[in-house]
Amino acid sequence: MNVDKQPLRIGLIGFGCVGQGFYDIVGRQPGLGLAVTRIAVKSPAKPRTLPAERFCFHADDLLADPDLDLLVEVIDDPAEAFRLVSTALRHGRRVVTANKAMLAHHLPELVALQRASGGALLYEAAVCGSIPIIRTLDSYFSHEPLQSVSGIFNGSSNYVLTRMSQQGSEYGPALAEAQAQGFAETDPSLDMGAFDPRSKAVILAAHAYGVFLHPEEVLNLGIESISAVDIARAAAQGRKVKVVAGLYRLPNGSVAALVTPQFVGPESPLYAVEQEFNGVVIAAEFAGSQFLHGRGAGGHPTGSAVLADVLALQHGFRYAYAKQSEAPETQLTEGLEVEVYLRHADAAILREALTWLQLPAGALLIDADGPQATGTVSIQVLWTWRQELRAAGVFVARLGEVRPTVAAGITPARAAELV
Ligand SMILES: NC(=O)c1ccc[n+]([C@@H]2O[C@H](COP(=O)([O-])OP(=O)(O)OC[C@H]3O[C@@H](n4cnc5c(N)ncnc54)[C@H](OP(=O)(O)O)[C@@H]3O)[C@@H](O)[C@H]2O)c1
């Protein structure tokens, strides 16, 4: 409560889904002592839910306003968001953002800017909406080694997978339904191609392991080529297809990262994460396994995470990035392998994919539901052929966890000792 003091004056940049959600939450809780005193948007002609005089159209005016105590940046343009956030930090300001694509591409610069200028940046809303995963990793687990951080970080693709699983429908109708319900964008490629959860994995790597990855270094495979056949085959094994983003500590201490569809069984808490929800499993060395589940998007859930950041900044909180000084090596492609399931309706295309992935022709199996293949492939090879696989429409899903490559003639136990 902030009853005796002036309210904290907030400049809000962006008044779309998240901006309006945040504004509404602040308005419903006057006791918090917060006031959104200025709002910047882009289009003068757009109809608004507030009087026209509440809006300005130059976000730079808010950056230059000394009467604002804090800025909330929730626009949909990553390049402009980076310009605004980095300018504000350079001037030592306190900023909250939700822009995961911008953060994933610029995190090292933004951390350096904060250290140089005394500014502060929080971004809980950028990963898994309402789930407090960043602060949990950054603060609570700041000094605990983590074996893995993995989860469902994209509500849109999870909604599509859930609808396919529940209705036995094909990808196209399930995607159309997700778009009609507001759970998927008109251009679904960032979500369905697993680019969005890749950005989130990159952000979490900085807090979970002190590792700063470039998004393009991380393998991401999506669900654009999934079919009802894949869902049915997973179900026949008692499993579901989920897009799992994962950061994994390898036996040699280095960290691997990737985002792909995966056949997930009921032994994993991710099996029960349905619809537009997100879930994160943290496997900690001493604390054991923890699971967080919640809404990954939407005005109020995301606005709630923005509010939590605003209040944290007010109380002087900053991310510690405590593991940065002892960050492990990363091992993103080389020396790693995983067992995969592959499918394409055309056996000839699948046969060609097997050659790309260095799998034997005998891996191909044709049953009543059409061609499929399974085998162990190197992540390096998957990485090399990822664009061809995407372009050819081959659906790829992990069947197990990523592991160090087992050299021929060496037992898995011996290989683990060697890395
Ligand atoms: N939606 C979610 O559930 C969700 C969840 C987590 C994170 N995020 C992230 O939160 C951010 C905002 O998402 P959103 O869904 O709220 O977007 P949105 O509904 O499309 O709204 C974007 C807002 O930004 C404004 N804007 C765009 N460029 C601007 C500029 N140069 N200066 C000032 N205002 C500008 C737009 O102005 P006009 O109103 O004039 O068009 C609009 O008000 C994105 O980075 C997104 O990735 C969203």
What's the whole-number mean pLDDT along residues 396-414? 76
- The pLDDT score that the predictor gives to residue 140 is 97
Give the confidence band of 5 by pLDDT, cuts at 50, 70, 90: confident
Residue minimizing CA distance to atom 10 of ligand 1: 98
Strands 120-122 and 94-97, bridge-based pairing: parallel
Among 13, 15, 17, the mutation site with the greatest number of ligand 1 atoms within 8 A of its Cβ is 17
Rg of the chain's alpha carbons, rounded to an integer?
A: 23
- The pLDDT score that the predictor gives to residue 349 is 98
pLDDT at 152 over 70: yes
Q: In what side-by-side order are the strands of the sheet with 94-97?
A: 55-56, 34-40, 8-13, 70-73, 94-97, 120-122
What's the whole-number mean pLDDT along residues 276-293? 98
Give the confidence band of 409 by pLDDT, cuts at 50, 70, 90: very low
Contact 196, 360 (CB under 8 A): no
- The pLDDT score that the predictor gives to residue 412 is 54
d(C-alpha 404, C-alpha 368), whole Å = 35
Give the CATH number of domain 336-418; options: 2.30.30, 1.20.950, 1.20.58, 3.30.70.
Answer: 3.30.70
> pLDDT tens digits for 81-131?
999 999 999 999 999 999 999 999 999 999 999 999 999 999 999 999 999
What's the whole-number mean pLDDT along residues 248-266? 97
CATH class of 133-294: alpha beta
Quote the ligand 1 centre to 299 CA distance (angstroms): 11
Give the confidence band of 406 by pLDDT, cuts at 50, 70, 90: confident
Q: Any idea which of 189-193, 316-320, 329-333 has the lowest mean pLDDT? A: 329-333
Residue minimizing CA distance to atom 15 of ligand 1: 17
Q: Which residues face 12 on adjacent strands? A: 39, 72
């349905």: which residue's tokens?
A: 274
d(C-alpha 138, C-alpha 142), whole Å = 5
Among 12, 13, 15, 18, the mutation site with the greatest number of ligand 1 atoms within 8 A of its Cβ is 18
Taking the CA of residue 102 as reference, the ligand 1 atom at the shortest distance is 45
Quote the ligand 1 centre to 87 CA distance (angstroms): 19
């983590």: which residue's tokens?
A: 146
pLDDT at 408 over 60: no
Give the confidence band of 416 by pLDDT, cuts at 50, 70, 90: low
240 is catalytic: no
CATH 3.40.50.720 is right for the domain spanning 8-122? yes
> pLDDT tens digits for 57-95?
999 999 999 999 999 999 999 999 999 999 999 999 999
Ligand 1 in contact with 129 (CB < 6 A)? yes
pLDDT at 160 over 90: yes
pLDDT at 137 over 90: yes
Strands 8-13 and 34-40, bridge-based pairing: parallel
Percentage of residues of the chain with pLDDT beyond 70? 96
Q: 304: exposed, middle or buried (C-beta count within 10 Å: 0-12, 13-18, 19+)? A: buried
- The pLDDT score that the predictor gives to residue 62 is 98
Ligand 1 in contact with 40 (CB < 6 A)? yes
Strands 146-152 and 277-284, bridge-based pairing: antiparallel
CA dihedral 87, 89, 94, 99 (to 10 degrees): 70
Quote the ligand 1 centre to 131 CA distance (angstroms): 20
Q: Which residues face 36 on adjacent strands? A: 10
Angle formed by the axes of helices 78-90 and 100-117, nearest 10°: 10
- Residue 264, phi then psi, degrees to nearest 5: -115, 130
| pLDDT averaged over every residue in the chain | 95
What's the whole-number mean pLDDT along residues 207-235? 98
> pLDDT tens digits for 342-373?
999 999 999 999 999 999 999 999 999 999 99
Of 100, 200, 240, 242, the catalytic one is: 200
Taking the CA of residue 100 as reference, the ligand 1 atom at the shortest distance is 47
pLDDT at 417 over 60: no
d(C-alpha 314, C-alpha 298), whole Å = 24
d(C-alpha 241, C-alpha 152), whole Å = 11
What's the whole-number mean pLDDT along residues 311-330? 96
User: What residues does each domain of the chain span?
Assistant: 8-122, 133-294, 336-418
pLDDT at 2 over 50: no
- The pLDDT score that the predictor gives to residue 14 is 98
Quote the ligand 1 centre to 132 CA distance (angstroms): 21
- The pLDDT score that the predictor gives to residue 1 is 46
- The pLDDT score that the predictor gives to residue 182 is 86
Quote the ligand 1 centre to 46 CA distance (angstroms): 14
- Distances from the Cα of 189 to the Cα of 52, 109, 197, angstroms: 34, 27, 12
Q: Kindly report the three-state secondary structure assignment for every residue of the chain.
A: CCCCCCCEEEEEECCCHHHHHHHHHHHHCHHHCEEEEEEECCCCCCCCCCCHHHEECCHHHHHCCCCCCEEEECCCCHHHHHHHHHHHHHCCCEEEECCHHHHHHHHHHHHHHHHHHCCEEECHHHCCCCCCHHHHHHHHCCCCCEEEEEEECCHHHHHHHHHHHHHCCCHHHHHHHHHHCCCCCCCCHHHHCCHHHHHHHHHHHHHHCCCCCCHHHCEECCCCCCCHHHHHHHHHCCCEEEEEEEEEECCCCCEEEEEEEEEECCCCHHHHCCCCEEEEEEEECCCEEEEEEEECCCHHHHHHHHHHHHHHHHCCCCCCCCCHHHCCCECCCCCEEEEEEEECCCHHHHHHHHHHCCCCHHHEEEECCEEEEEEEEEHHHHHHCHHHHHHHCCEEEECCCCEECCCCCCCHHHHHHHC
